[in-house]
Structure 1
């Protein structure tokens, strides 16, 4: 094997190690959460312990509601920014779409062969690409470009690939917690184990939500082009069916007139689709945080009144040392 092959294999091995380490860390974290829940029930269920658990639950539930309100404020802020910038994009699109359409579907200098290109574009619902991909024409993308341009900065701030922006959705999720540092209760074993369990449940939930956010980013962004394609679909079908002498001019006129006729409604629908999908993402995130963490709070109380004889504190310490090793 040559040097390049060795380098490639080394990269795969390192990637495999990284994935295995992450999977192991997740597994250990889950085990630690279960053991923490078990250990939280080891104290005798006397009146003081039961009252402490009840008070801890009340505090958690208040923190959950408070954190959800703060998250709502964040979503309202970026929603308003998106709406403002999308409205600007609609105005620009309405003003420039006809000229953009004319420029895209105009033939080359002598016009030879362009009737085939235009026909293929209509048959493929607005998109043409040559066999070797040296020529790509996408009318839907062209019509969407001004809306995209107006929200590109927002998306870089809200859905950054790396780093922090101060407006990142993942940052907001990461700092969301029902465990507050200003706890009114003194440090105790029961508080430590309950906090441990809740923290692990939060971490698992946040990881799942952040994966969903990555998936939804492209779904929201691409909805503009998809909405435009859907609005233009019947026109593409009609234009593709035109044949015979003068068909190229008829196709061009049909595409241009349709864009001109539907432009206001089409771009407004694209705007509303982005906002609707963004709002759905907000509702999904809030619902998951509220329901999953409420369930975690209830599970953290499940040992109340149940005296067990299984001390797992040593096992928890072993898992904590293993997690430290996995983090190195």
Structure 2
């Protein structure tokens, strides 16, 4: 749709609807604004009508292209046109597939670095921030117990503690920059999925047909469908990005849940130290397996995105 610009009106609806106005109706600027809105509505309707006609012409031309013909030259041209579309589609999909593989390799490396740092830092971070922070043990005992009862998170009016988030931080820190590049919408680069999606097309830019040609209408129809499909894919990319990022913490929480349940049941004398020991030993024993699973879960979701977009 074409861009438009309008003047800024300092309207007064109260003065416009008064029975005995001090200000005359034209001076309220409401009539001017009404004219602008009417013209804008007409413009939008013209755009919608043109899009509808173009799409209808494309569908009719596509149907026509499959009808039998006695014109050998036209039959030959149809076959060449369809062959070109098939060839372009395969080339565009192969290119997109290669780009996804490259992006996946970069993501894999970032995740591998995240696993190494998580294994090295997770227990130390957890102890310092959540399990055994430097504060009054008597007050913190209840907080730690509440955290275990709530699967690793505690929230009050003045405080929020989340062990799952603490454990996930090294992994997130290692992929944040790569994520911002891969899923960038505004600053697109060769590492951006959206950049390659925008470039995707089975219509050759240097091959055009006369405006009255059946092939011209088919090209316009395909372009319209590509635009719709790309918009749908863009929404899918954003959703999968959220799922991938959330899966880091979700996977950790799932692995730690039996530990939380066990610690939450501890009562009596020395229960605070027992809870700390359960949490500490669990993290130590699970860390390599847990963070490797985090990596695999993120990559699995990325591969799912690839099958949706590039295949």
Closer/same/farther in 2, CA of residues 44 and 240 from structure 1, 3 Å limit: closer
Matched, 1:151 2:175: yes
Query: Which SS does the other structure have where 2:269 is aligned?
Result: coil
User: Which structure 1 residue ranges, 5 or more long, are not aligned?
Assistant: 1-5, 7-17, 288-328
Larger Cα-atom Rg: 2
Alpha-carbon distance in 1 for matches of 2:101, 2:187: 22
Partner of 2:56: 34
Partner of 1:319: none
Matched, 1:49 2:74: yes
Matched, 1:125 2:151: yes
Alpha-carbon distance in 1 for matches of 2:113, 2:48: 44
Alpha-carbon distance in 2 for matches of 1:22, 1:257: 65
Alpha-carbon distance in 2 for matches of 1:215, 1:175: 21
Alpha-carbon distance in 1 for matches of 2:84, 2:168: 48
Note the alpha carbon deviations across 1:166-216, whole angstroms, 9 max, x for none. Answer: 321111111100001243x76461221111111111111001000111111
Query: Which SS does the other structure have where 1:128 is aligned?
Result: strand
Which residue of the other structure, out of 269, 274, 277, is the alignment partner of 1:245?
269
Alpha-carbon distance in 2 for matches of 1:71, 1:125: 41
Conserved? CA contact 1:90–1:271, under 8 Å: yes
Closer/same/farther in 2, CA of residues 161 and 261 from structure 1, 3 Å limit: same
Partner of 1:303: none
Conserved? CA contact 1:92–1:146, under 8 Å: yes
Query: Which SS does the other structure have where 1:112 is aligned?
Result: helix
Q: C-alpha displacement at 1:27, in angstroms?
A: 8.3
Which residue of the other structure, out of 187, 211, 216, is the alignment partner of 2:235?
211
Alpha-carbon distance in 2 for matches of 1:29, 1:87: 48
Q: Which has the higher contact order (CA 8 A, sep 6+)?
A: 1
Q: C-alpha displacement at 1:39, in angstroms?
A: 4.5
Note the alpha carbon deviations across 1:84-134, whole angstroms, 9 max, x for none. Answer: 11111101100111101111222453223211110111011111111x2x2
Conserved? CA contact 1:30–1:200, under 8 Å: no
Alpha-carbon distance in 1 for matches of 2:133, 2:218: 70
Q: TM-score, normalised by structure 1?
A: 0.75
Note the alpha carbon deviations across 1:271-293, whole angstroms, 9 max, x for none. Answer: 01111110110011123xxxxxx
Alpha-carbon distance in 1 for matches of 2:44, 2:291: 43
Alpha-carbon distance in 2 for matches of 1:194, 1:117: 66
Query: Which SS does the other structure have where 1:125 is aligned?
Result: coil
Q: C-alpha displacement at 1:29, in angstroms?
A: 3.6
Matched, 1:113 2:135: no
Matched, 1:231 2:251: no
Q: TM-score, normalised by structure 2?
A: 0.79
Matched, 1:176 2:235: no
Matched, 1:93 2:118: yes
Closer/same/farther in 2, CA of residues 128 and 273 from structure 1, 3 Å limit: same
Which residue of the other structure, out of 47, 68, 71, is the alignment partner of 2:96?
71
Q: What is the alpha-carbon root mean square deviation over aligned residues?
A: 2.6
Count residues in correspondence. 266
Q: C-alpha displacement at 1:162, in angstroms?
A: 2.5
Closer/same/farther in 2, CA of residues 197 and 145 from structure 1, 3 Å limit: same
Query: Which SS does the other structure have where 1:162 is aligned?
Result: coil
